């Protein structure tokens, strides 16, 4: 099980992290690879939808919405806060 604070689903809005491991099923992993999300990619959480799920992530200069159910299987290592112009 992924530890608290270390999966992509728990990334706070405005925070960035490096993907450490993707433990999802192969179908989703393919989709994520298509989006350029692989081990070592930097992701930034840029928003949450009105009902709390899905969240929007910036991945390689595009924004992709992913569901919590899917992102909780992606292990990350948080980066220190870089810039956050929303606050």
Partner 1 sequence: MGKVVALAGNPNVGKSTLFNELTGLKQHTGNWTGKTVESARGSYTYEGCRYEIVDLPGCYSLLSHSEEEEIARDYICFRQPDIVVVVCDATCLERSLCLALQVLEVAERVVVCVNLMDEAEKKKIYVRLNQLSEELGVPTVGITAREGRGLKGLFQIIQKLESENIGKRNAVTYPPVIERAIERLEPAVRWELGEEIDTHWICARLLDADNGLLKALENFTNKSFEQGDRIWEALADVKRELEEDGYTEELVEDTIAETFVRRSEEICGRVIQIGKENYDRRDRILDGIFASRLTGIPVMLLLLFLIFWLTICGANVPSQFLMKSFAKLEEILLTGAVNTGVPKSIYEPVIFGMYHVTSWVVAVMLPPMSIFFPLFTLLEDFGYLSRAAYNLDRCFQSCRACGKQALTMCMGFGCNAAGVTGCRIIDSPRERLIAVITNSFVPCNGRFPTILAMISLFIVGTDEGILSSFLSAVVLAGVIVLGIGVTLLVSAGLSRTILKGMPSSFALELPPYRMPQIGKVLIRSVFDRTLFVLGRAVVSAAPAGLLIWILANSSVGEISILEYCAQFLDPFARLMGLDGVILLAFILGLPANEIVLPIAAMLYLSKGTLMNLGEGVRLWEILVQNGWTASTAVSTILFSLMHWPCATTCQTIYKETKSMKWTLISILVPAVTGIVFCMGFTGLVHLCTKIIYL
- Interacting residues toward partner 1 by CB under 8 A: 24-36, 38-39, 41, 46-54, 56, 58, 60-67, 69-70, 83, 85-86
| Beta carbon of residue 34, minimum distance to partner 1 (angstroms, whole number) | 3
Contact (CB, 8 A) for 6 and 79: no
Which of 3, 85 has the CB closer to partner 1? 85
Tokens of 67: 């569901």
Which of 16, 17 has the CB closer to partner 1? 16
Burial 51-69 (b: 16+ CB within 10 A, else e): eeebbbbebeeeebebeee
């Amino acid at each position: 099980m992924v530890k608290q604070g270390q999966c992509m689903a728990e990334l706070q809005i405005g925070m960035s992290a490096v993907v450490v491991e993707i433990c999802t099923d192969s179908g989703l992993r393919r989709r994520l690879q298509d989006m350029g999300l692989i081990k070592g990619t930097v992701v930034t959480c840029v928003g949450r939808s009105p009902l709390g799920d899905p969240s929007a992530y910036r991945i390689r200069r595009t924004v992709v919405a992913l569901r919590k159910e899917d992102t909780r299987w992606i292990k990350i290592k948080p980066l220190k806060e870089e810039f956050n112009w929303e606050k």
